[in-house]
């Protein structure tokens, strides 16, 4: 009884630690993206948010279901079905998160995600998602002994997809680190590659051996939720030391958008204003109401401290 209580306490402490470290990572990224207005930081931030949502829903939520539902005397097949459905519904979070990881990798190398890579990624993940949904429908037809095999196949299948994604990312980072002219950027990309490669290996091994001991499962959870904190800290150091270089790689108009904290929709309206369009034309082109255009312009005038459209155009035109 004492050992059981200690295990539960250790699990709770580990989960709390994971969530605190994850929240700290998100806070760092939020501060960086507000300060430097870099696409890489935006993608990194959203990747972390999406990964957190899947972790809460697909990992911790799934474990909670397996722990609680059997206490209500439900049939093991029903418990397994509910558990798998719960995980299935959460998969879009991690699928989108992995794509954001691909996107942020390209952006830190100052490139765009290749359309072929994006197409192949969503084709493979969509096929795996649909196959998983079909497998869930078959659970009531399976024996209790087969449930464990199904879980292993699911874990291995999506672990394989993650390994492929991470492998591509590591190779992409290493190759681009070799062609970087600036030594600081070369070191950053190389360190990113090393950390992601190590994280992928340790997560994969710990996931595979999770059933051998509960501590291995806790180790996997810790890696999942807190594994990207070193990358956030590396980014913080790099952007702080190379803030001038970062600004040089950003166009002047993007710098102004970041300086005045202009939202994506406000950017669109500013661009249309610079083209000489009226509020009515802007509302028609952007498929928004005339009042919405006026509200956005009012906010833009306040942020940029200009009084009219002419001054706004002078501020942003020809940048």
**Residue that wins the pLDDT comparison between 155 and 186:** 186
pLDDT at 5: 73
pLDDT at 28: 96
Percentages of the chain per state (helix, strand, coil), in multiples of 5: 85, 0, 15
Do 244 and 197 lie in a common domain?
Answer: yes
Q: Which domain holds residue 271?
A: 252-316
Look over the chain and give the mean of its residue pLDDT values, rounded to a whole number.
Answer: 85
Identify which of 84-93, 228-237, 243-252, 302-311 has the greatest average pLDDT: 228-237
Do 263 and 200 lie in a common domain?
Answer: no
Torsion sign across C-alpha atoms 207, 212, 215, 218: positive
pLDDT at 138: 79
Within its chain, how far is the Cα of 204 from the centroid? 19
pLDDT at 243: 61
Q: What is the DSSP string of 51-95?
A: HHHHIIIIIIHHHHHHHHGGGGT--HHHHHHHHHHHHHHHHHHHH
Q: Nearest-CA neighbor of 14 among 222, 204, 207?
A: 222
Spell out a b/e string for 215-254, using b for 16 or more CB atoms within 10 Å of the CB, else e: ebbbbbbbbbbbbbbbbbeebbebbeebeeebeeebeebb
Do 280 and 244 lie in a common domain?
Answer: no
Do 215 and 286 lie in a common domain?
Answer: no
Please state the rounded mean pLDDT for residues 126-140: 85
User: Do 266 and 299 form a contact (C-beta atoms < 8 A)?
Assistant: yes
Do 137 and 80 lie in a common domain?
Answer: yes
pLDDT greater than 90 at residue 71: no
User: Do 107 and 158 form a contact (C-beta atoms < 8 A)?
Assistant: no
- pLDDT band at 112; cut points 50, 70, 90: confident
pLDDT at 144: 64
Q: Alpha helix (H) ranges present in 109-143?
A: 115-137
The two tokens of residue 140 are 């009531």
Task: Determine which of 8-22, 66-80, 104-118 has the lowest per-residue pLDDT on average.
Answer: 66-80
Do 239 and 302 lie in a common domain?
Answer: no
Do 267 and 242 lie in a common domain?
Answer: no
The two tokens of residue 51 are 């990964």
Which H or E run contains 2?
helix 2-36
pLDDT greater than 50 at residue 281: yes
Residue that is last in its domain, among 194, 227, 248: 248
pLDDT at 225: 94
In angstroms, the CA 267 to CA 154 distance is: 43
DSSP 3-state assignment of 37?
coil
Residue 292 sits in a domain of what CATH number? Answer: 1.10.10.10
Residue that is last in its domain, among 232, 248, 264: 248
Do 234 and 284 lie in a common domain?
Answer: no
Q: In total, how many domains does the chain have? A: 2
**Residue that wins the pLDDT comparison between 231 and 285:** 231
Residue that is last in its domain, among 229, 248, 267: 248
pLDDT at 62: 79
* pLDDT tens digits along 20-54: 999 999 999 999 988 877 889 999 999 999 999 99
Torsion sign across C-alpha atoms 144, 145, 150, 151: positive
Please state the rounded mean pLDDT for residues 151-175: 87
Do 285 and 188 lie in a common domain?
Answer: no
pLDDT at 310: 87
Identify which of 17-26, 53-62, 275-284 has the greatest average pLDDT: 17-26
Do 186 and 290 lie in a common domain?
Answer: no
Residue 288 zone, left/alpha/beta (φ > 0; ψ -120 to 50; rest): beta
Please state the rounded mean pLDDT for residues 123-147: 81
Please state the rounded mean pLDDT for residues 61-71: 78
pLDDT greater than 70 at residue 251: no
- pLDDT band at 208; cut points 50, 70, 90: confident
Do 239 and 256 lie in a common domain?
Answer: no
Please state the rounded mean pLDDT for residues 93-112: 92
Do 134 and 262 lie in a common domain?
Answer: no
């Amino acid at each position: 009884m004492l050992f059981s209580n200690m295990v539960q306490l250790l699990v709770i402490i580990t989960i709390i630690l994971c969530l605190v470290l994850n929240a700290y990572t998100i806070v760092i990224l939020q501060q960086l993206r507000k300060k430097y207005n870099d696409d890489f930081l935006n993608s990194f931030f959203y990747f972390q948010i999406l990964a957190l949502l899947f972790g809460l829903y697909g990992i911790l939520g799934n474990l909670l279901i397996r722990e609680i539902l059997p206490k209500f005397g439900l049939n093991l097949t029903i418990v397994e079905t509910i558990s798998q459905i719960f995980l299935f519904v959460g998969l879009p979070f991690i699928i989108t998160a992995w794509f954001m990881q691909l996107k942020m990798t390209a952006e830190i190398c100052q490139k765009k995600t290749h359309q072929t890579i994006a197409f192949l990624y969503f084709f493979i993940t969509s096929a795996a998602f649909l196959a998983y949904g079909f497998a869930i429908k078959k659970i009531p037809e399976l024996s209790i002994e087969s449930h464990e095999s199904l879980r292993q196949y699911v874990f291995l299948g999506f672990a394989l997809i993650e390994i492929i994604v991470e492998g591509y990312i590591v190779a992409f980072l290493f190759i681009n680190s070799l062609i970087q002219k600036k030594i600081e950027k070369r070191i950053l990309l190389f360190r990113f590659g090393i950390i992601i490669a190590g994280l992928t290996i340790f997560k994969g091994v710990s996931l595979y051996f999770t059933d051998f001991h509960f501590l291995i499962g806790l180790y996997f959870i810790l890696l999942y939720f807190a594994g990207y904190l070193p990358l956030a800290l590396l980014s913080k150091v790099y952007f702080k030391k190379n803030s001038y270089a970062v600004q040089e790689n950003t166009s002047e108009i993007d710098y102004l958008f970041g300086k005045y904290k202009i939202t994506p929709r406000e950017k669109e309206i500013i661009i249309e204003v610079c083209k000489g369009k009226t509020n009515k034309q802007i509302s028609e082109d952007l498929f928004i109401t005339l009042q919405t255009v006026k509200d956005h312009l009012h906010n833009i005038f306040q942020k940029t401290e200009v009084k009219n459209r002419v001054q706004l155009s002078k501020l942003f035109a020809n940048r």
